[in-house]
Amino acid sequence: MFYRRKHYTVKNEFVEIFNQHFNNTNLPNQLKHGSRLVGRWMKDNQDGTTEIFAIWEYDSYEVYVEIESNIRSDEAHVKRIREWYERHGGKEYIGKEYILEVRNEAIESTVTYEGKTV
């Protein structure tokens, strides 16, 4: 299995808009192409920002790469993403004003049970 964590630090005033975008646009497309969501959480940093992160599961790194390629090639999805950015001031504006940090990281289990990583 391959797991990844997608992490964002977002200004609090943008959290609801950002979460709606995930639920209405990104999640359906990820699932359509075979991604498996383990869960998505958020934590108020008490400084005007919120951490939002999701854990995704794939059969392998190669499957992850293939799914991501299919998502980027999905013209209808790319159009929806572009339109969402435009509705909220453009990608550059959102990146400067609302989404302060983005990380996409492979993560590894530290748990072994009966000789197997779980």
Q: Please count the structural domains in the chain.
A: 1
pLDDT tens string 10-63: 999 999 999 999 999 999 999 999 999 999 999 999 999 999 999 999 999 999
CATH number for the domain that contains residue 59: 3.30.70.100
Task: Flag whether pLDDT at 103 surpasses 80.
Answer: yes
| Whether the predicted model's global pTM rises above the 0.85 cut | yes
| Residue 90 belongs to some domain of the structure | yes
| Residue 117 belongs to some domain of the structure | no
Residue range(s) defining the domain that contains residue 61:
2-107
Q: Which of 101, 78, 72, 76 is nearest to 14 (CA)?
A: 101
pLDDT computed for residue 4 by the predictor: 97
| Residue 115 belongs to some domain of the structure | no
